[in-house]
Chain A
Amino acid sequence: QKEVEQNSGPLSVPEGAIASLNCTYSDRGSQSFFWYRQYSGKSPELIMFIYSNGDKEDGRFTAQLNKASQYVSLLIRDSQPSDSATYLCAVLNSGYSTLTFGKGTMLLVSP
């Protein structure tokens, strides 16, 4: 059973702080990893994907991947109230067949 684990939260941070969202996965053969943002009542929106160990930055977002530890994270710098949403971690299974999603972490950014 391929699993993706996330803390459900909520993770509460003040405006301007760094939010750190974490995810672990069980399929050691996984190659690609994705972060989605989902606002309440809306569908998920792809924020970033990463497939190499290390960091990948895009604006205020940084994805970090450590395949040895089977760990992927998303850092959001200068958090804004508009970042308040549920963040879904997803892992592309070995064989490129399907994505497995975590249950999501709710982020609350207070003004």
Chain B
Amino acid sequence: GAVVSQHPSRVICKSGTSVKIECRSLDFQATTMFWYRQFPKKSLMLMATSNEGSKATYEQGVEKDKFLINHASLTLSTLTVTSAHPEDSSFYICSARDSGTGYGYTFGSGTRLTVV
């Protein structure tokens, strides 16, 4: 089945630094990937849609200069949290759509970001 690999699984960074999260589709090509964040006991919140070879589409209220998304190839999308602050601490999850799963999303394992 479709596998999406996400790294790192956990990261702790100092306030003001940047963190990059990678998301790879391992056994299929993903022209579109999606980035979510989730706060404890809250629902998934779509941050942006990442399209291979073009600019990402951000949801309303998401700062595109803070959350930089790059989708340079059909199997790799990255999310960089720039100048991180404690309020950016959250669970970030990427996903990709695969026709083998009826066009549902396969999710990566998520990245727990803690900004201290």
Binding site for B on A (CB under 8 A): 32, 34, 36, 41-46, 49, 51, 88, 90, 92, 96, 98-99, 101-104
Contact = CB atoms under 8 A, between A and B. Distances in A.
A51 B99 CA distance: 13
B43 A46 contact: no
Contacts of B43: 101-104
A7 B43 CA distance: 13
Interface residues of B, number: 20
Contacts of B34: 98
Contacts, number: 48
B107 A49 contact: no
15 contacts: A32-B102, A32-B104, A42-B109, A42-B110, A43-B6, A46-B101, A46-B104, A46-B106, A51-B102, A90-B104, A90-B105, A92-B102, A98-B34, A98-B46, A104-B43
Given A34-B104, A44-B107, A99-B97, 5 more contacts: A32-B102, A44-B93, A90-B105, A92-B102, A99-B104
Given A88-B44, A98-B49, A103-B43, A43 B107 contact: yes
A80 to B, nearest CB: 22
Interface of B: 6, 34, 43-44, 46, 49, 91, 93, 97, 101-110, 112
Contacts of A96: 103
Contacts of A99: 97, 104-105
Residue of B49, B104, B105, B112 with most partner-chain A CB within 10 A: B104
A99 B109 CA distance: 18
Given A88-B44, A98-B49, A49 B110 contact: no
A70 B91 CA distance: 31
A13 B112 CA distance: 31
